[in-house]
Structure 1
């Protein structure tokens, strides 16, 4: 996928589920921080020489998870959850894109910088988090999942 917004759209349209943790959104084997900027430009940004601003992945996911709420209710709940709300002028176009009703939207900035380095393999991250525990001889709940995902069966701690 070229960008995280297109990936989110693909998951939603195809009915696949993604996982949301306190800090990340996980699509299959890859995770992005919730603070990752999408390429959907905030309607009021970039005017009169002001810098462009883009919605975060967290904001877009929160809108998608609360798609049935009236905008006033959605904004109130987003504020209570401390999630920046998608503005009303952007809501219709963004939802049309995310639900597959539209193939693109005027506010999608194809030239926006996409930081690929934010993408991380979940299996590799789990392995790197587990190894310090294994080296100390501790047990971890990730061991069984890593056995199948990463092929980690044992670690030689005698070196």
Structure 2
């Protein structure tokens, strides 16, 4: 794991977190049709079934964010994972994913799933999830399979 990372649960009052969340949503809308954007906005991230973390470096700079949503007993979903653009390709995404998986296990989850885009813009994310042991799975929840939607899952 990348050293000197600090995970902060909540952190919704930080302007840089709000800015990264806006960037995340805008990027999702640029890469997918509006009806296929499943990223949570600030209100969605503040729901009681969602836990959200920002990740900061030693200097306090915001490096990224990620959330874990409880779908049902024992099953969670990775939501709103994003690395700040200035910190891409430095292992931050893998560190966020490792943190979310650790929190999922600690919270008693036995399976974690996620949905990501199926087009080229999401290829790096899909590769990272596959390296972390996620495998494609049938659509779950309210997701509908098509060329813009890829679902993944893994046991914990």
TM over 0.5: no
More relative contact order, 1 or 2 (CA 8 Å, 6+ apart): 1
Q: Normalising by structure 1, what TM-score?
A: 0.24
Larger strand fraction of residues: 2
Larger helix fraction of residues: 1
Q: Normalising by structure 2, what TM-score?
A: 0.24
